Homo-oligomer: A and B are copies of this chain.
Amino acid sequence: MIVVMAAHATEGQIKDVEQRILDWGYDVHPIYGAERTVIGAVGVPDADKGQYMEALESLEYVERVMAILRPYKFASRELHPEGTIINVKGVPIGGNQVILMAGPCTVETYEQTYESAVACKAAGANILRGGAYKPSTSPYSFQGLGLEGLKILRAIADELDMRVITEVMDTRMVETVCEYADILQIGTRNMQNYDLLREVGKCQTAVMVKRGMWAKIEEWLQAAEYVLLGGNPNVMLCERGIRTFETYTRNTLDLSAVPAAKELSHLPVIVDPSQGTGKRSLVQAMTKAAVAVGADGLLIEVHPHPEAALKDAAQQVTTTDFGRMVEELKPIALAVGRTI
């Protein structure tokens, strides 16, 4: 770390800071400039020395402390130059093929989910998505079918030879959801629910960490680090839009986060254009952009009859639209050297 001393810092105060840094085990490299003294501290290998940085910043004779190393280790591409490929029961995520995860926003009935799944599978989706436990801003909205929804997903996926991705919201439900799902989704609202991250870190089921709508890319990678540190190496990321001042779209889908996350980390990156825009009319164009920018997979809400959906109707595409959309994605995938 780099410690910038205050302009008014005395020689004694500079010595005090140097001593503290030495006591923590760092080597000290002071640079005495005309306007500021700057102290470089190196030699302590841990990914996060945030506590020391804050302690120094709390001194009134220290102006600022700046980190040098990235605050994560297992998620970093530096220690793991090759991109990770996660094998989800035979479906590779992070490889050359762009993976389609599709299905209804919410599992409402067996019939609605089945109708959606059949169409998604026919169009090329290998992974069935659907919410059994739903995070709803309003307590008066539909909260999902729960266990019943998990069973519907599993039964349909097994019949159609698909894998299941679904959200787990509560530490107490991790074990149950693991029984039915092949990928556990950590939703945007739970990206910093650390007990949940630790809990899914204890199992080996693949985990998709959605970016918090308030989260910087590095914080998102630190959330993934919680899971990896817990012992579960099967982690993928999902960009789903961040919160900005724009109101025309539901969120601002940050596609630059895909190449950014991929240069910082070896983990696969999925894109969710449905949540990201909240508008069916924009989903198709953003899906194309997601493939062009290098996404390893797409998470798309497909409902046979969107206008009858119990949740998020406005952002679900029809089964017919989905089929056509996938056809249009193929030449783009090809153009960036991938298949779909």
Which residue of chain B is the closest to A295 with respect to CB atoms? B289
- B276 near A55 (CB under 8 angstroms)? no
Stretch of A151-159, A175-183, A244-252 with 4 or more beta carbons under 8 angstroms from chain B:
A244-252
Shortest Cβ distance from A17 into chain B, in angstroms? 10
Copies per complex? Answer: 4
A245 and B307 alpha carbons, distance in the complex (Å):
28
Q: Scan residues 285-314 of chain A and give those whose CB is less than 8 A from a CB of chain B.
A: 285-286, 288-294, 306-314
Which residue of chain B is the closest to A72 with respect to CB atoms? B138
Give the residue of B50, B316, B335 whose beta carbon is less than 8 angstroms from that of A138: B50
Mask: chain A, 310-329; 1 = CB below 8 Å from B; 0 = not: 11111110000000000010
On chain B, the residues within 8 Å of A143 by CB distance are 194
In the assembled complex, A46 has its CB within 8 A of some CB on chain B: yes
Stretch of A82-90, A124-132, A214-222 with 4 or more beta carbons under 8 angstroms from chain B:
A214-222
Additional A-B contact list (20), CB under 8 Å, known A35-B45, A71-B140, A143-B194: A2-B40, A7-B78, A33-B42, A33-B43, A36-B68, A50-B137, A51-B141, A55-B308, A58-B315, A66-B66, A72-B138, A139-B225, A169-B193, A216-B245, A256-B276, A256-B277, A260-B282, A286-B293, A288-B293, A292-B332
Chain A residues engaging chain B, CB cutoff 8 angstroms: 2, 4, 7, 29, 31, 33-36, 38, 40, 42-43, 45-48, 50-51, 54-60, 66, 68-69, 71-72, 78, 135-143, 169-172, 189-190, 192-196, 212-214, 216-219, 222, 225-226, 229, 242-249, 252-260, 263, 276-277, 279-282, 285-286, 288-294, 306-316, 328, 331-332, 334-336
